[in-house]
Amino acid sequence: MNRPVPINNLKQPHNTLVADKHLHAQTGSGFLRSLVVCGAFLMLLFLPNAAFSAKEITVIFPEVASPYKGIFDTILQGIKSQEGNKVQLYPLIKDHELEGLKRDLQQQRTEGIIALGRRGYLAVNMLQTELPTVVGALSLVPNGVSGISLSADPELLFARLKSLVPESKRVFVVYSAQTSGWLIPLAERAASKYRLELMAYPAADLREAMLHYRSLLQETQGKKDAIWLPLDNISANNDVVLPMLLQKAWDKDLVIFSNKPSHVQRGALFSMYPNNFGLGQELSKLLNQQLEQQGDPQVKPLDRLRLAVNLRTAAHLGLNFSPRQQEEFALTFPSR
């Protein structure tokens, strides 16, 4: 019967020092390998995110002449400034073929689309693609697509109103439910935040809009009341509504603000209009959200904005702006 060998009698290396050195060498080389692997991992970890998450996106936009070309060029620069996307540009010409666009999207392995302007929006609608898509550079309303409207965020408009005219208490707006109705709940929340009373009147056509204006002009009083002109062809009609409102506002010291610098040039106190580079950046971010989350379609008002101010109207209203405020004026009328 074999007896178990006592541990003390197991054969030991004849040279304990040599054995220790051999073990140390093995351990050291393993440690070095671990360091190399760890270092490589850290290098990958801190490489730009584009190396991992670069998406192939296509921007569909109308090919137009100046000055509109400059607007689209700036939006495109904003889109391309966002890291992590490989951007392919697809300019639409008058005789573009839908089948050619479909083929190009497939060949480019496009993962998402940004459509600019009305023609870009119509082209995407005709494509009936299931690719994640966002739309911009038009007066978009919620209708089952995602995008950023050219309509300014009411919260930013009201914040600017209070900063330029602290006496403001009430904001009057006449609006088309079809075009601007989606902004009214946002405006109500913004009015509450800035302690303003919002007086909103829906109008089905130009005739009804004029009736509302004639009625509200009878109760408006000086600088505490302001009239907001949204991006609305009915309630902010340039040929009928605007001349009448500007004359009454001048006579009664009322504040008019809008979404169009052209209104400021004609006499409105201020407007907040698109920062086109910022719009491009926001469209790119919104598309990335769609690619990552695949959430429900959403339309957002524009919050990347520039400020135009009519200094002659401001002087007529007795408004004085600090140097710091004036630094924020991107456009002034009359031109300085």
Q: Does 18 score more than 50 pLDDT? A: no
In a domain, 258, yes or no: yes
Domain match, 215 and 328 both: yes
Specify the pLDDT at position 54: 76
Q: What is the mean pLDDT of residues 307-321?
A: 97
The pTM (predicted TM-score) of the whole model is: 0.83
315 with 256, same domain: the answer is yes
**What is residue 16's predicted lDDT score, i.e. its pLDDT?**
34
CA 238 – CA 207 distance, rounded (Å): 14
Last residue of one domain, picked from the residues 138, 172, 200 = 138
Give the pLDDT band (50/70/90) at residue 41: very low
Examine the pLDDT at 43 and tell me if it is beyond 60. no
**Average pLDDT of 17-28?**
40
Q: Residues 175, 313: one domain? A: yes
Q: How far apart are CA 180 and CA 100, in angstroms?
A: 35
**Tally of domains within the chain:** 2
Same domain, 60 and 128: yes
- Residues 195, 323: one domain? yes
Residue 125, domain CATH: 3.40.50.2300
pLDDT reading at 106 higher than 90: no
DSSP 101-169: HHHHHHHTT--EEEEEHHHHHHHHHHHT--S-EEEESS----SSSEEEEEEEPHHHHHHHHHHH-TT--
Q: What are the E-state strand segments in the chain? A: 55-62, 85-92, 112-116, 133-136, 146-152, 170-175, 197-202, 225-229, 255-258, 270-274, 299-302, 305-310, 331-333
Domain membership flag for residue 31: no
Is 157 found in the same domain as 109? Answer: no
Q: 280 lies in a domain?
A: no
Domain boundary residue, one of 111, 138, 165: 138
**Residue 118 pLDDT:** 95
Residues 250 and 127 reside in one and the same domain? no
Statement to judge: residues 155 and 241 lie in one domain: yes
Task: Give me the pLDDT at residue 288, please.
Answer: 93
Please indicate, yes or no, whether residues 88 and 197 belong to a single structural domain of this protein. Answer: no
| One domain, residues 176 and 115 | no
Residue 94 has pLDDT above 80, yes or no: no
Let me know if residue 120 belongs to a domain: yes
Last residue of a domain, one of 138, 170, 195: 138
Q: Is residue 201 part of a domain?
A: yes
Same domain? For 176 and 310 the reply is: yes
**Which pLDDT tens digit goes with each residue over 224-280?**
999 999 999 999 999 999 999 999 999 999 999 999 999 999 999 999 999 999 999
Range of the domain at 169: 151-273+306-333
Window from 116-125, 143-152, 191-200, 288-297 with minimum mean pLDDT: 288-297
Q: Would you state the pLDDT for residue 336?
A: 65
Computed over every residue of the chain, the mean pLDDT equals: 86
Work out the average pLDDT over 60-75: 95
Residue 19 above 60 pLDDT? Answer: no
On the question of pLDDT at 96 being above 70, the answer is: no
Q: Give me the percent of the chain exceeding a pLDDT of 90.
A: 73
Asked if the model's pLDDT at residue 7 lies above 70, the reply is no
In a domain, 209, yes or no: yes
pLDDT in tens, 160-217: 999 999 999 999 999 999 999 999 999 999 999 999 999 999 999 999 999 999 999 9
Structure confidence at residue 326 (pLDDT): 96
Residue 6, in any domain of the structure: no
pLDDT of 304 over the 90 cut: yes
Indicate whether 13 belongs to any domain: no
Confidence band of 219 (pLDDT split at 50, 70, 90): very high
- The sign one gets for the Cα dihedral 199, 205, 210, 212 is negative
CA distance linking residue 124 with residue 102, whole number of Å = 10
> What pLDDT is recorded for position 90?
94
d(C-alpha 227, C-alpha 213), whole Å: 10
> Is residue 80 domain-shared with residue 194, that is, in the same domain?
no
- Helix, strand, or coil (residue 65): coil
Q: What is the pLDDT of residue 55?
A: 87
